[in-house]
Amino acid sequence: MRIATKGILAGLGLMLASSTQVLAQELTILWAEWDPANYLQELVNDYQKETGVTVRVETTPWPDFQTKAFTEFNAHGSAYDLVVGDSQWLGAGSTQGHYVELTDFVKEHNLTTAMAPATMKYYSEYPGGSGHYWAVPLEGDALGWAYRKDLFEDPTEMANFKAKYGYDLAVPQTFAQLLDIAEFFTRPEQNLYGAAVYTQNSGDGVVMGVENSVFAYGGSFGDYANFKVTGEINGPNSVKALEDYRRLFTYNPPGWGNAFFAEVNTAIAQGQAAMGMNFFAFLPSLINEATNPYAKNMGFFANPKGPNGDDYAALGGQGISVVSYSQNKDEAMKFLAWFVKPETQKRWAELGGYTCDAVLLASPEFRNATPYNEAFYQTMFKVRDFWALPEYAELLTEAADTFYPYVVDGQGTAQETLDSLASKWVDTLKTAGYDAK
Amino acid sequence: MAVVSTRAGRLGNRIAIAAVIVITLIFLAPIYWITSTAFKPLVLATSVPPTVVFEPQITPFVKLFTKRAQLTGPVDKEVYDAAPWWEKLVLDGGERLARDGNGDVVYSAYPDRFVNSLIIAITSTVLAVGMGTITAYGFSRFRVKGEADLLFFILSTRMLPPIVVAIPMFLMYRAVGLNDTHVGLIILYTAFNVSFAVWLMKGFIDEIPKEYEEAALVDGYTRMQAFFKIVLPEAATGIAATAVFCFITAWNEYAFALILSNRRAQTAPPFIPSQVGTGLQDWTVIAAGTVLFLLPVAIFTFLLRNHLLRGMSFGAIRK
Amino acid sequence: MAQIVATLDPKSRAATRGWSDITIRNVFIIPTVTFLIIFNIFPLLYSLGFSFTDFKASSSNPAKFVGLKNYVDLLADPVIWRTFTTTLWYVIVSVAGQFVVGFGLALLLNRPIPFKGFLTTLLLLPMMLSPVVVGLFWKLIYDPSWGILNYALGIGKVAWLTDPKLALYAVAITDIWMWSPFVMLLSLAGLSAVPKHLYEAASIDRAGKLYTFFRITLPLVAPILLIAVIFRTMEAFKTFDIAFVMTGQPQAELISTRLYKMAFQQWQTGPSSALAYIILIMVLCITNIYVKYLNKAKER
């Protein structure tokens, strides 16, 4: 009798336990509102089929993304189990305890070799070189360029260009050529402008754009390991890069002072810009004939080299991390283990995600899948990133506030602008307790 | 002014009417632009030059309620033929509908956010108007020590920029777990509407002659009965006008909703602008969300319009 | 009135006891005032402490006391001063605009007009929209390339929202569009309350139109206009959503936008609490002045 009762109780307990488990079988991922998030939603459907765990991808618009995520982190909220966070969040995520450390997970799944090296370095490791990992690279991204083939390959344009600049009109190999081409196509009377770049200062728009130039020119945003700012951000290469970014801005459509990815794509789709700088993740809409009348004529290229032959581009993209306040951490880890499987990564790439899987990335299959994948592949091996300290948001806002008056309003000189940014950054870093120089 | 008898006066009147109509049209132009955007194909929403005449379509509304992803290749003819008409509209736009594991269409969060807005705006309006009315009655009919100071304090709470209050509110809500809850936002919206309600309602109640209640008291009613049966019906116009204003404020509030709610309790205003398309700002979907979101408040205002117009002369005039 | 009394339930005549006036007063007033104190004063006291520290809500590090440093830094920061003057100028432009347009409209509407109620309700539509959506769509309308405004006016490619000289006015125009109807509504109420016999008397005295307007209409409508201006000033001072969405031009940056950046993008909780306090003190001064005028106007 006793045994029977025990058995029944145990059975009941098991039922209860399993029923609570059923309740917990839902995971919520926070990401920004954009196409890759919808691809991810489609990808996780397969996971639901395999395991019965429902995964929902919750999205929030880009300008609020950082605020929203950190509001939730700082509230120690459990609304999200996983977050696909910007690379710069690693510092805050790791040192403030928002992220679960994934170092063991990374070792167990050999991610340091399975994923492209730059993606592990920038999307996962913190502090740099420490061997501590906090995320699984999810969406690789960087700044690339789109251009109008019909303009570039037009015989009259080609002849005129050659006559004016002395070399053939083609995809620019250097920033000097990029500037020539932008100048060449700037014709307000035809409603055509040379380029469309980022200028928005409420998020990271203008900073990303300047960064892209600064890295290519061999400049730097600082020696991140030694907190050295002076002489880096305001060094001669950085200054030249900022000057040329300002020049590039003058070849943009009128009123181009609040532009981010949507504006750049709109300018191209409406036939206003011959070239546009954008994150690879935003490029697919340019080959959609329903949204871009020039879809058939779009070409893409990786960031050109700077005057000294340096070849770099600014990194975007995100890794996925487990939120330490989540109540479903175990389920979340299981999900990550599924996500890093090569089959999953392959499916991810097919759906339109930018996989960071090193083998897949280098495969001809991937590189030829779309008109922009080849440029993406080239870019992902030459990326550099912004600061990833917990204080990165302050550095970013200061940079945006400092760049904007020079780039958009043409106030002061590039040297003055960067000198003032250097001194602001040193102050901010010192206040935060770093031995900044 | 109101008396028009001369010929010149009649002419002036006609000019005034014409001017009113022209100004009304100018005022409505941006609203027309939003509404027409809600029926445009995406490419025409930002065409250069802007498109005024076009063939209206309801694709933006289909998009508003679904999640979509960019098509990477041409659609299978079979899939296309099998799709319902509304899915065809999305496919024609170069996008496919996102589906969940069971193959069901994934709906966007818009309906949830809309319902959140309804719950939060209605509850907080009822609370703010209710509290505002009784408090205004208290100030209007009884002697209160430091009345001027208290009223000043009540008004000053309305003057603080929301961001000023948002910092400590965020920390407090975090401490007590009210972040991202309906209750949290309801309390907050009630708090900043109640001060407005007190001020408006005090004007209205001051205008209701005290003799009405005194007559009732003489007839043997208690003060409470007199309040409910005599003052409230007399103040109905004022209550309606106050309710319209409180509802509009709570319905459209953005800053607090942005900071203090995430997913479960988020209202529509922070959500509507987040409907970005595939690498482009999908103005048509934002417009569709805006148009639907405008309807409840427009209907509410339209129904109460007579109260609103009559009821706005709160106290200040005939004092 | 007799009718109302007659409809009262006769049984309630017996209930003479009920609550005393003092109880009713307390029950009616104290909860609301307490509620407002809890949700206004208490949070502010809470953040007063933070304003003397280097606290960051994004960090688990304990707050460090820094004395008046935050206040000193802020008051020495030219950017803060610029946003204050910008905000002040914005308030003046937008409230003045709303006053002129709103009151003007009310004067035009204050006559027998077919479908007056319907027209007036239509005019109220702008203020029923969510400010953030208004900001977004005006951004679309203002766009130099694909915006309708420049085409409608035929003025070429004016960069409304990015030109440092224009941006603030462009935002103010949107605010004027959105809130003039509010001023119109209040003015209309004021105008309709002016006793008709005053106008009749004036016309018998053959008083000129201008004379009637300045000596009869304006003085009688002034108090309600003042209320409209007070409420709009308060709201304009608080402006956040519209400006935040519409422009990033530093010359058009308002104090609320700056505070939002500091508090919720940079997570400088300590300094932003201090800035919040500086704003609070200014707000209290302005409210005080206004209430004095309001009371004066009411006494007239």
**Average pLDDT for consecutive 10-residue bins of chain B (319 residues)?**
60 88 94 94 86 89 87 80 87 82 80 94 96 92 84 78 80 83 93 87 85 87 87 88 91 88 85 73 91 93 80 47
Beta-ladder partners of A56:
A28
**C265/A405 Cβ within 8 A:** no
One-letter identity of residue C167 = A
Give the confidence band of C3 by pLDDT, cuts at 50, 70, 90: very low
Q: Is the peptide bond before A342 cis (omega within 30 degrees of 0)?
A: no
Average of per-residue pLDDT across A263-288? 92
Does A82 score more than 90 pLDDT? yes
At A400-421, the pLDDT tens digits run 999 999 999 999 999 999 999 9
At B83-138, the pLDDT tens digits run 888 888 888 888 888 777 677 887 888 999 999 999 999 999 999 999 999 999 99
Question: Dihedral through CA B309, CA B312, CA B317, CA B318, nearest 10?
Answer: 80
Sheet holding A136-139, edge to edge: A54-60, A26-32, A82-86, A318-322, A136-139
Interface test with C, best of A86, A99, A270, A401 (most C CBs within 10 A): A401
Does A1 score more than 60 pLDDT? no
The whole-number pLDDT of residue C226 equals 83
Does A436 score more than 60 pLDDT? yes
CB B150, CB B280: distance < 8 Å: no
Beta-ladder partners of A196:
A276
By mean pLDDT, which of A423-427, A429-433, B160-164, B167-171 is the weakest? B160-164
Average of per-residue pLDDT across A293-305? 93
Which helix (H) or strand (E) is C206 found in, with range? none
In chain B, the residue whose alpha carbon lies closest to the alpha carbon of A262 is: B280
User: Nearest 5°: phi and psi at A32?
Assistant: -80, 160
* Rounded-to-integer distance, Cα C231 and Cα C63, Å: 37
* Rounded-to-integer distance, Cα A306 and Cα B137, Å: 74
CB C67, CB C290: distance < 8 Å: no
CB C103, CB C183: distance < 8 Å: yes
**B49/C151 Cβ within 8 A:** yes
Those chains having 3 or more beta-carbon pairs within 8 angstroms of chain A are: B, C
* Rounded-to-integer distance, Cα B148 and Cα B145, Å: 9
Those chains having 3 or more beta-carbon pairs within 8 angstroms of chain B are: A, C
Interface test with C, best of B141, B156, B163 (most C CBs within 10 A): B163
The whole-number pLDDT of residue A15 equals 43
Q: If DSSP codes are grouped into helix, strand and coil, which group holds residue B96? A: strand
CB A208, CB A62: distance < 8 Å: no
> pLDDT higher for B69 or C122?
C122
At A127-179, the pLDDT tens digits run 888 899 999 999 999 999 999 999 999 999 999 999 999 999 999 999 999 99
CA quadruple C266, C270, C272, C273: dihedral sign: positive
Give the confidence band of A288 by pLDDT, cuts at 50, 70, 90: confident
Of B30, B225, B314, the CB nearest to C177: B30
* Rounded-to-integer distance, Cα B42 and Cα C136, Å: 16
* Rounded-to-integer distance, Cα C214 and Cα B221, Å: 47
CB A330, CB A13: distance < 8 Å: no
CB A105, CB A320: distance < 8 Å: no
Apex A282 CA angle, B101 and A126, nearest 5: 80
> pLDDT higher for C273 or C195?
C273
Which two structure tokens, joined as six digits, stand for A175?
Answer: 């920033």
Tell me the HSE value of C89 on the side-chain side, using a 13 A CA sphere.
Answer: 17
List chain A residues with CB under 8 Å of B106.
41
Tokens 């440029």: give the residue: A375
DSSP-derived pairing of the beta strands A82-86 and A318-322 = antiparallel
Instruction: Report C:159-218 residues touching B (Cβ under 8 A).
Output: 177, 181, 185-186, 188-190, 192-193, 196, 199-200, 203, 209, 212-213, 217
| Alpha-carbon gap: A138 to the closest alpha carbon of chain B (Å) | 17
Which two structure tokens, joined as six digits, stand for A83?
Answer: 């977050």
**C267/A74 Cβ within 8 A:** yes
**pTM of the predicted structure, to 2 decimals:** 0.86
Distance of CA A126 to the CA centre of its chain: 17
CB A236, CB A217: distance < 8 Å: no
> pLDDT higher for B319 or C266?
C266
Does A17 score more than 70 pLDDT? no
Of C126, C141, C269, the CB nearest to B167: C269
Where in C231-288 does DSSP place strands (E)? none
Q: If DSSP codes are grouped into helix, strand and coil, which group holds residue B107? A: strand
List chain B residues with CB under 8 Å of C189.
309-314, 317
Tell me whether 0.90 is exceeded by the ipTM.
no
State the maximum Cα–Cα separation within chain C, in Å, rounded to a whole number.
79
Which helix (H) or strand (E) is B95 found in, with range? strand B95-97
Of B3, B17, B138, the CB nearest to C28: B138
Residue B99 DSSP symbol: B
- What's the mean pLDDT when you consider all of chain C? 84
| Alpha-carbon gap: C165 to the closest alpha carbon of chain B (Å) | 23
Look at residues C175, C181, C176 and name the one whose alpha carbon lies nearest to residue C131: C175
Give a three-class secondary structure readout of chain A.
CHHHHHHHHHHHHHHHHHHHHHHHCEEEEEEECCHHHHHHHHHHHHHHHHHCCEEEEEEECHHHHHHHHHHHHHCCCCCCCEEEEEHHHHHHHHHCCCECCCHHHHHHCCHHHHECHHHHHHHCECCCCCCCECCEEEECCEEEEEEEHHHHCCHHHHHHHHHHHCCCCCCCCEHHHHHHHHHHHCEHHHCEEEEECCCCCCCCHHHHHHHHHHHHCCCCCCECCCCECCCCCCCHHHHHHHHHHHHHHCCCCCCCCCCCHHHHHHHHHCCCEEEEEEEHHHHHHHHCCCCCCCHHHEEEEECCECCCCCCCEEECCEEEEEECCCCCHHHHHHHHHHHCCHHHHHHHHHHCCCCCEHHHHHCHHHHCCCCCHHHHHHHCCCEECCCCCCCHHHHHHHHHHHHHHHHCCCCCCHHHHHHHHHHHHHHHHHHCCCCCC
Beta-ladder partners of A301:
A145
At C134-168, the pLDDT tens digits run 999 999 999 988 899 998 998 888 889 988 899 99
The whole-number pLDDT of residue C267 equals 81
The whole-number pLDDT of residue B5 equals 55
* Rounded-to-integer distance, Cα C24 and Cα C20, Å: 6
* Rounded-to-integer distance, Cα A167 and Cα B121, Å: 65
Does A428 score more than 80 pLDDT? yes
Residues near B284 by beta carbon (within 8 Å), at least 6 away in sequence: B37, B38, B39, B40, B41, B42, B45, B59, B60, B63
Helix axes A392-407, A414-431, angle to 10 degrees: 160
In chain C, the residue whose alpha carbon lies closest to the alpha carbon of A411 is: C164
CA R_g for chain B: 26
DSSP-derived pairing of the beta strands A54-60 and A26-32 = parallel
In chain B, the residue whose alpha carbon lies closest to the alpha carbon of C43 is: B168
| Alpha-carbon gap: B272 to the closest alpha carbon of chain C (Å) | 8
Q: If DSSP codes are grouped into helix, strand and coil, which group holds residue B68? A: strand
State the maximum Cα–Cα separation within chain B, in Å, rounded to a whole number.
84
Give the confidence band of A24 by pLDDT, cuts at 50, 70, 90: low
**A258/C248 Cβ within 8 A:** yes
Which two structure tokens, joined as six digits, stand for B13?
Answer: 């009147």
Tell me the HSE value of A160 on the side-chain side, using a 13 A CA sphere.
Answer: 12
CB B108, CB B271: distance < 8 Å: no
| Alpha-carbon gap: B200 to the closest alpha carbon of chain C (Å) | 10
One-letter identity of residue B186 = I
